Amino acid sequence: MDSYEVQVDRFAYGGEVFGRLPDGRAVFVPFALPDEKVRVRLVEEKRSYARAELLEVLEPAPERVEARCPHYGLCGGCHYQHMPYEMQLTAKREVLRDQLQRIGKLEAPNVLKTVPTPEPWNYRNHVQFHLTRQGKLGYHTHTTNKVFPIQECHLPEAPINELWPQLDIEVLPGLERIGLRIDAGENLMLMLESRDPKPPEFEVDLPISAVHLSAEDSRVLSGTYYQVMEILGRPFRVTAGAFFQVNNTVAEAMVQHILDMLPEFVPLSAHTVLLDVYCGVGLFSAFLAGRVGKLVGIEASPQACEDFVINLDEFDNVELFEAPAETVMPILDDEPDVILVDPPRAGLDTEVLDSIVELAPEVLVYVSCDPATLGRDAKRLTNAGFRLAQITPFDMFPQTYHIESISFWVNES
* b/e 364-374 (16+ beta carbons within 10 angstroms → b): bbbbbbbbbbb
* b/e 221-247 (16+ beta carbons within 10 angstroms → b): bbbebbbebebeeeebbbbbbbbbbbb
DSSP β-bridge partners for residue 402: none
Rg of the chain in Å (alpha carbons): 22
> What does the alpha-carbon distance between residue 211 and residue 151 come to, in Å, rounded to a whole number?
25
**CATH 3.40.50.150 domain span(s) along the chain:** 93-118+245-411
**CATH 2.40.50.1070 domain span(s) along the chain:** 126-229
Whole-Å CA distances, 113 to 217, 393, 407: 43, 7, 13
What CATH number does the domain located at 126-229 have? 2.40.50.1070
**CATH 2.40.50.140 domain span(s) along the chain:** 3-64
pLDDT by residue for the chain (413 residues), tens only, comes to: 689 999 999 999 999 999 999 999 999 999 999 999 999 999 999 989 999 999 999 999 999 999 999 999 999 999 999 999 999 999 999 999 999 999 999 999 999 999 999 999 999 999 999 999 888 999 999 988 899 999 999 999 999 999 999 998 888 888 989 999 999 999 999 999 998 888 888 888 888 999 999 988 889 999 999 999 999 999 999 999 999 999 999 999 999 999 999 999 999 999 999 999 999 999 999 999 999 999 999 999 999 999 999 999 999 999 999 999 999 999 999 999 999 999 999 999 999 999 999 999 999 999 999 999 999 999 999 999 999 999 999 999 999 999 999 999 999 98
Do residues 394 and 114 touch, judged by C-beta distance below 8 A?
Answer: yes
- Residue 400's nearest CA partner among 125, 121, 102 is 121
Q: Which residues are catalytic?
A: 369
- Amino acid letter, residue 12: A
Q: Which CATH superfamily is domain 93-118+245-411 in?
A: Vaccinia Virus protein VP39 (3.40.50.150)
Do residues 270 and 296 touch, judged by C-beta distance below 8 A?
Answer: no
- Residue 111's nearest CA partner among 98, 88, 93, 99 is 93
Pick the CATH number of 3-64 from 3.40.630.30, 3.40.50.150, 2.40.50.140, 3.30.930.10: 2.40.50.140
> Residue 372: which residues within 8 A CB-CB, separation 6 or more?
13, 99, 103
Backbone dihedral angles phi then psi of residue 251, each to the nearest 5 degrees: -60, -40
Do residues 26 and 11 touch, judged by C-beta distance below 8 A?
Answer: no
3-state secondary structure (DSSP) of residue 309: helix
